[in-house]
Amino acid sequence: MVLDPGLVDWADQDLAAHTAVARARMVPQRELEELLADHVARLGVPVRRGVEVTALEDTGDGVLVATTAGPVRTGWLVGCDGGRSTVRRLTGIAFPGTDPELTGHLAVVDIADPEKLADGWTWSARGAYRCGPQPGRVATVEFGRAPADRTEPVTLDELQAVLRRVSGTDVTLTALRGAATRWSDNARQAAAYRSGRVLLAGDAAHVHSPFGGQGLNLGVGDAMNLGWKLGAVVAGWAPEGLLDTYDAERRPLGAWVLDWTRAQSGAMRGDAASAALRQVLADLLGTRDGATHAVKQISGVTQRVDLPGGHPPVGRCAPDLWLTDGSRLADHGHGGGFLLLDRTPDGTLARLAGAWSGRVTGLADAGGAGTGGGDAAPAGVLVRPDGVVAWACDTGRTADAAAGLEAALHRWAGAPSPSAGAR
């Protein structure tokens, strides 16, 4: 099932408020890793490659970590060590979920007789395969077969046997180009994202099939949510319980992705019921509403963290907001702090946030433009360092607005800075 961008209603309110979605593109993992590694290097964070974590002890005031390069003592430990996370296992965090029903393979190969295979996704009673879109790229899905030992590298013989089974042909593969991947639809979520001073993020916290390409995005979302909170705790200004909001905010999104991928596994089987379900789904995705709904779900524009405050953007990713100087609100967020956009004529809100200076950047922008979608922007918007709207109001002139902002600042940005002076 392929989404046709031409069908999507890009004028939809949620999509128009996030114009970047329409410009989304596939980023090869290698490029993304280089980009993140460069960023980390610019921040001066040392990366030690080839070092394995083998044991850990949470001592209450820190974590003692045994590694193949010797012991490390740290205040906090975040296990970002993948689906078979050692940190999760050593911490004793359960990983409940559903067992795999299929085994998938992905590889780029040389095929002696490609005419024996069809283009696009092709189903049989045993599973399905897809050739393309790049030359030699082959993806297979096979139901009812226990996944082989996933630590063993995928061989050319294994790939050929799988492809022959799911295609019902005697196709011959002659070479494997690059690393091949074997995966399953094992869908599990950590029972807790935090245990004392140990936290989990990325695949260590949740695994699922790669259908729909959501896994890495979900992990990056975890990192964005956790990063600033952990920074606040380490820097000593975190409000009470801030770290616990990580689990509360990220778990529902992880659970949603698990179900989104389970639904796709359900529609992938070779039986008649699944074939009929696929057709129903394909018909729905072939409509304007269906395609728009799917793009909104996959892009995350409809994701909402359950935060107090009834204003529509609260809990959502900050919309594109344009300032009078032509910049976007997001352009001001690279410093990693809070942003307060104040569009009141007298700058009351930005002045109030001055007591949190150093953590909150006030952007007084009286009469600024609306969202990328053309809607009127709220009069005041407080955006957390992870891009989530923490508070918003339509008019900043009332005492209620100031009180609401002050409560949100205390809740998320801690006590006012002593050095910031009187308000």
Ligand X SMILES: Cc1cc2nc3c(=O)[nH]c(=O)nc-3n(C[C@H](O)[C@H](O)[C@H](O)COP(=O)(O)OP(=O)(O)OC[C@H]3O[C@@H](n4cnc5c(N)ncnc54)[C@H](O)[C@@H]3O)c2cc1C
Interface stretch with ligand X, choices 113-121, 172-180, 198-206, 270-278 (CB under 6 A) = 198-206
Backbone angles phi, psi at 104, to 5 degrees: -115, 155
Instruction: Work out how close the CB of 187 gets to ligand X at its nearest, in angstroms, rounded to a whole number.
Output: 12
- In terms of CB distance, is 82 or 315 closer to ligand X? 82
By CB under 6 A, is residue 200 in contact with ligand X?
no
Distance CA 117, CA 132 (A): 11
- In terms of CB distance, is 89 or 423 closer to ligand X? 89
Q: Which long-range contacts (CB under 8 A, 24 or more apart) does 169-174 make?
A: 169/116, 169/117, 170/116, 171/111, 171/112, 171/113, 171/114, 171/116, 171/117, 172/111, 172/112, 172/113, 173/109, 173/110, 173/111, 173/112, 174/109, 174/110, 174/111, 174/112
Q: Is the Cα dihedral 3, 7, 9, 10 positive or negative?
A: positive
Distance CA 229, CA 249 (A): 12
Among 219, 309, 362, 380, binds ligand X (CB under 6 A): 219
Among 97, 136, 147, 210, binds ligand X (CB under 6 A): 210
Among 216, 255, 281, 284, binds ligand X (CB under 6 A): 216
- In terms of CB distance, is 246 or 356 closer to ligand X? 246
By CB under 6 A, is residue 64 in contact with ligand X?
no
Tokens of 92: 């004793």
By CB under 6 A, is residue 214 in contact with ligand X?
yes
- In terms of CB distance, is 219 or 362 closer to ligand X? 219
Contact 381, 357 (CB under 8 A): no
By CB under 6 A, is residue 66 in contact with ligand X?
no
Residue 39: CB atoms within 10 Å: 10
Q: Is 156 exposed, middle or buried (0-12, 13-18, 19+ CB in 10 A)?
A: middle
Instruction: Work out how close the CB of 85 gets to ligand X at its nearest, in angstroms, rounded to a whole number.
Output: 7
Q: In sequence order, what are the residues at sequence separation of 6 or more whose Cβ sits closer than 8 angstroms to the Cβ of residue 34?
A: none
- In terms of CB distance, is 184 or 344 closer to ligand X? 184
Instruction: Work out how close the CB of 390 gets to ligand X at its nearest, in angstroms, rounded to a whole number.
Output: 26
By CB under 6 A, is residue 246 in contact with ligand X?
no
Tokens of 225: 């949510």
- In terms of CB distance, is 66 or 117 closer to ligand X? 66
- Tell me the per-residue interface mask from 68 to 87 with ligand X, x by CB under 6 A, - otherwise: ------------xxx---x-
Dihedral angle computed from the Cα positions of residues 228, 233, 236 and 239, in that order, rounded to the nearest 10 degrees? 90
Interacting positions 103-162 with ligand X (CB under 6 A): 106
Among 19, 124, 169, 217, binds ligand X (CB under 6 A): 217
Instruction: Work out how close the CB of 72 gets to ligand X at its nearest, in angstroms, rounded to a whole number.
Output: 11
By CB under 6 A, is residue 254 in contact with ligand X?
no
Distance CA 13, CA 312 (A): 12
- In terms of CB distance, is 53 or 156 closer to ligand X? 53
By CB under 6 A, is residue 215 in contact with ligand X?
yes
Instruction: Work out how close the CB of 217 gets to ligand X at its nearest, in angstroms, rounded to a whole number.
Output: 4
Tokens of 339: 């942003």
Instruction: Work out how close the CB of 124 gets to ligand X at its nearest, in angstroms, rounded to a whole number.
Output: 21
Distance CA 347, CA 326 (A): 19
Instruction: Work out how close the CB of 52 gets to ligand X at its nearest, in angstroms, rounded to a whole number.
Output: 4
- In terms of CB distance, is 127 or 337 closer to ligand X? 127
Contact 233, 76 (CB under 8 A): yes
Instruction: Work out how close the CB of 46 gets to ligand X at its nearest, in angstroms, rounded to a whole number.
Output: 14
Instruction: Work out how close the CB of 96 gets to ligand X at its nearest, in angstroms, rounded to a whole number.
Output: 18
By CB under 6 A, is residue 52 in contact with ligand X?
yes
Distance CA 143, CA 129 (A): 12
By CB under 6 A, is residue 183 in contact with ligand X?
yes
For residue 39, give the amino acid letter.
H
Among 63, 162, 197, 202, binds ligand X (CB under 6 A): 202
Residue whose Cβ sits closest to ligand X: 202
# residues contacting ligand X (CB under 6 A):
19
First to last CA, the chain: 57
Binding interface with ligand X (CB under 6 A): 52-53, 80-82, 86, 106, 181, 183, 202-204, 210, 213-217, 219
